[in-house]
Each structure stands twice: as structure tokens, then as C-alpha cells.
Amino acid sequence: MKLAGKTDVGRIRRENQDDFRAGALPGGAAWGLVCDGMGGARGGREASRGACDIIERCFQEHYNRCLPGMEKVFLEDVLSNANHYVFQKSSQEETLAGMGTTAVCALVRSGRVHLCHAGDSRAYLYHAGHLVQLTHDHSYVQELVDCGTITPQEAEHHPQKNIITRALGVDYRVCPDYTSVVILPEDILLLCSDGLTNFVPVAQMEQIFARYSFYDVPDKLIEAANAGGGQDNITALLLGAEPLEVKHG
């Protein structure tokens, strides 16, 4: 696997409440994570950074317990641990009350992508020139789309698009969604925050993937999001089904 990621504050926000982590694992496997914090300037930063710290530690210390077939349980436990940490910290510090963070976490091994997520940070698979969304947003607007109240096109500019219905740290328990798909050589997994997807259409992202090299794509995606308004923090993390190389910028 090869990894490339970048995060950017955007053009409007003063602070970056996004965070991401990634790393290689034994046997040619890899993991990646994108978090988008919420709950005020300090709360958002603390939530995303704290969740990333806990999840990274879980992979470092407990991945050896994740036997074949246990990926769903492992990822759910990882996000549950992060949820507990953020919720406890929010409960104990008045200035952090109400903080939380989205999370989309991936484990790639043995030709499969295993995903667990809460919130509207997304995962896409780039295959044969097309991006396919693998996650389903946990948001109020997505619920309106699901029940047919509004169209996907109307959802793109809905004034309540920022209302999240599931996240880490807002309750003592969390119910993340899990999915798994095949990943083939030359495929690329994209994990990203909504600061990218809200300002760069999928068709434009596909053009960037097709035009630029693997390690240049995160920079170009962020440039496109800033050119499209840059009204939020932006994070793009790639995991490529290739021999191992790592870049974290």
C-alpha cells in the first residue's frame, strides 16, 4: 500500500479542526482515518485530535488481535474507544462541553477495504476512472434525501447541510456503520472531510485523479476546494493498492 494525505485550514476558517492519520501494518496492510471536529474552536480541535490519538494507539497496540474475519468488530471497538474518550473529556471540562467529531476509518488488507464511519466524512473508491462513494452520510439532509423529501441536487445547497446525526463524543455510546468492498491493484481509496465534498463535484475530483500522480492528488483536491470557496477545513487522504510508500504532509 502507498499513502498520501494533506489537510488545509481553507480560506475562511481561522483554525483547522480536521485531523487525519495513516500507517502501514504487517503483511502489506494499511490503515487510514479522517476526523472533522465540531463544538467550537477549542472543542473541535480537541475532539478530532483526541479521537485520532486514541484510534492510532489502538492500531499500534491491538492490531495483532485483529484476526481474519474480525475486521468489523475491531473497527467498531476502535471507534467506540475514541467515542468514550471524547465523551468523557467533554463531560469533565466545561469549555469542551458538547464537542464531537466525525470519523471515517479504513483498514485495507488481503484485497479488501474495511470501513467504519460516523458522521459525514466520506470514503470513495477510485476504480477504472470513476469515484464510487462507499459511505452514507449521517446527516439531517441525507435523511431528507432518503425519505424523498428533497432531491440529491437540492441537498447540495440545503441551508441545514451541516447538521450531523451521528458522531463520536456526543453520547456515551456510538453506532458506526460498517462496510467492506474489494480493492484491486491500481485502485485508490479516498477518505475526506466535507470541506472537500461540499466544494468539489465528483466529476471534477475524477478529472484530478486521472490527470495527476498519486502523491499530487491530495494537493490538487485541496486547491480545487479552495478555488470553489474554501469555506471549511479540507482533508484528503489516499490509500493506494500499490507497493508500500508513505507520505504524510
Could you tell me whether strands 2-8 and 245-248 are parallel, antiparallel, or unpaired per DSSP bridges? parallel
* Stated pTM of the model: 0.92
CATH number of 2-134+164-243: 3.60.40.10
Instruction: Give the model's pLDDT for residue 149.
Output: 81
Instruction: Give the model's pLDDT for residue 100.
Output: 95
Residue 212, all three cell numbers: 495527476
Instruction: Give the model's pLDDT for residue 83.
Output: 97
Divide the 249 residues of the chain into consecutive groups of 10 and give the mean pLDDT of each group: 96 95 96 93 91 98 96 98 96 90 97 97 97 92 79 70 88 95 96 96 97 98 97 97 53
Instruction: Give the model's pLDDT for residue 248.
Output: 45
Instruction: Give the model's pLDDT for residue 41.
Output: 66
Q: What interhelical angle do 71-92 and 40-62 show, nearest 10? A: 140
State the Cα–Cα distance between residues 55 and 75, nearest whole angstrom: 9
Q: Where are the domains of the chain?
A: 2-134+164-243
> Could you give the residue ranges of the DSSP H alpha helices within the chain?
40-62, 71-92, 140-146, 152-155, 194-197, 202-211, 217-227
